[in-house]
Amino acid sequence: MKPVIFNNTVLRDGHQSLAATRMSTEQMIPITPALDAIGFGALETWGGATIDSCLRYLGENPFDRLDTLKKLAPKTPHMMLLRGQNIVQYTSFPDDVVEAFVACAAKHGMNIFRIFDALNDTRNLITCIKAVKKAGQHAQGTICYTTSPVHTLEAFVAMGLELEKLGCDSICIKDMAGLISPSTAGALVKQLKAKVKIPVVIHTHNTAGLGGAAYYAAIENGVDAVDCSMVPFANGTGQPDIMMMLAMLDRSDRRPNYDTSSFPKIREHLEKVYDELSAFTSPNNEKTDADILQWQVPGGMLSNFRNQLKEQGMSDRYEEVLAEIPYVREALGWIPLVTPTSQIVGTQAMLNVKFGRWKMISQPAMDIALNKYGRTPGPVDPEVLAEVIKRTGQQPVQVRNADLLEPRMPKLKAELKAKGFDDSDENAVLWAMFPLELEIVLKGEKPAAPAKPAAAPSAAASAAVGRKYVLNIDGALHSVTVEEAK
């Protein structure tokens, strides 16, 4: 077999998982040319929470970051994580916004679009796949890996076949919480490789300490590529470290032949950056802990979850909230925990612990129950669904939610123009997702520095700003309006 390909995630998932996505473009610049020279299969440089973080915390235009990194690393394909119909936000967007976003990203140099849906509802991937193919780039369809009575190897393989039929150029097994065991990784890769003709990639986190062994088993069974990061933005809640994986493959004919002579200088710089981001790192994110196999919380969320609970005055109830997460997940239809569902379930677990089970239900959790994010893998708990229907007066959606959304690009451009801003497609797609944050950047201002490390916005918070709700707590109605924290 050919040597396995390593994708390098240090410029995206590495710091998202271990430093709350706070690495700035300026901190990336010194090592990007060296990373480009090594010959990785891809550099993950964009997508996920980086676009939100650029605008919300760093005062950067994310398209400017992509332009800069593409100029510094022109040889290696650039890869991004794209949340299907949610783009890089927490709610569904109309097809015209999704198509414009993909076209803009491709124009600015994005090559590989790793497209996933939090519920594995392939209907929410179709628009993205078509848009990526139209732009002449690589569409990587994603299987979000998790464990539950409804998530079987047979179901995952069937989804892989469907992704191939939809026109994907490759398939990624995305294990966002570091749950996949070596035996399962090997078996799933072997079955996929026997059924599909396109390359198979695997992505995991080392949160439970299984990552390296899972990669080894996948490599032994023919996986085409694996995602790795670089110390100190590796291991723990991040991806397995590249040097560790190279050592693990010693004497294997699948060991890639990378020139590692530049690694010491790259690591020296990354250590410096890690120290600079110490306000956003935590020893708890650096260790391995098999308890994650029970909670199934993704690494990128764990690096923020403690801060979120601290801000709610619930630091002492961390274990209690974690223990509530599997219950909420099952009640909402055995949904995989990946953005935005991980944040939605985490927020609802916190509400359940703070107020009592289902006394307060977040709007995104109600939307999950009503199929507004897509088909849930399993049935929603009938009692929870009945309560949601009672509170909202709505029945579950039976079609793809985006089919119910009106086109928005003309309206977005008009809003930008009315504000005196350039109505480019780039600005319009960012305006659709992060209007308050984009306005600050377009005005040339900097986001207010938080007095303490700010947690990444929860799904409930991001989706709810500016909206009015009536909360029913034990029969008492409370009218509230959600505003940005000042």
CB 77 within 8 A of CB 111: yes
Domain contains 238: yes
In this structure, what are the phi and psi dihedrals at residue 4, rounded to the nearest 5 degrees? -70, 150
Euclidean distance between CA atoms 387 and 390, whole angstroms: 5
- List, in sequence order, every beta strand (DSSP E) within 108-267: 112-115, 138-144, 170-174, 200-203, 225-228
CB 150 within 8 A of CB 377: yes
- pLDDT tens digits, residue range 194-243? 999 999 999 999 999 999 999 999 999 999 999 999 999 999 999 999 99
pLDDT on residue 477: 36
Strands 225-228 and 5-8, by their bridges, are: parallel
Token representation of residue 206: 């080392």
> Residue 369: beta bridge partners?
none
pLDDT on residue 223: 98
Higher pLDDT: 299 or 289? It is: 289
Domain contains 120: yes
CA 452, distance to chain mean position in Å, is 24
Q: Rounded to the nearest 10 degrees, how much is the dihedral formed by the CA atoms of 10, 290, 185, 215?
A: 40
From first CA to last CA, the distance across the chain in angstroms is 56
pLDDT on residue 247: 98
pLDDT on residue 449: 61
- pLDDT tens digits, residue range 175-196? 998 999 999 999 999 999 999 9
Domain contains 251: yes
The per-residue b/e assignment along 15-31, b for 16 or more CB within 10 angstroms, e otherwise, is: bbbbbbbbbbbebbeeb
CATH number at residue 163: 3.20.20.70
Residues 6+ apart with CB under 8 A from 140: 79, 112, 113, 114, 115, 168, 169, 170, 171, 172, 201
Domain contains 383: no
- pLDDT tens digits, residue range 250-283? 999 999 999 999 999 999 999 999 999 999 998 9
Domain contains 172: yes
Q: Note the pTM of the prediction, 2 decimals.
A: 0.89
Domain contains 462: no
Tell whether the model's pLDDT for residue 471 goes beyond 60.
no
Average pLDDT over the chain, rounded to whole? 91
Euclidean distance between CA atoms 127 and 318, whole angstroms: 38
Domain contains 207: yes
| Domain hosting residue 75, numbered range | 5-276
Give the best-scoring range by mean pLDDT among 130-144, 451-465, 466-480.
130-144
- Over range 377-389, report the average pLDDT: 97
Lowest pLDDT segment from 197-206, 314-323, 331-340, 452-461? 452-461
Domain contains 430: no
59: left (phi over 0), alpha (psi -120 to 50) or beta: left
**What single-letter amino acid sits at 423?**
D
Please tell me the total count of domains within the chain. 1
- The count of other CB atoms within 10 Å of the CB of residue 119 is 24
* Residue (of 456, 352, 469) closest to 482 by Cα position: 469
Tell whether the model's pLDDT for residue 456 goes beyond 70.
no
- The count of other CB atoms within 10 Å of the CB of residue 443 is 11
Residues 6+ apart with CB under 8 A from 103: 131, 134, 135, 425
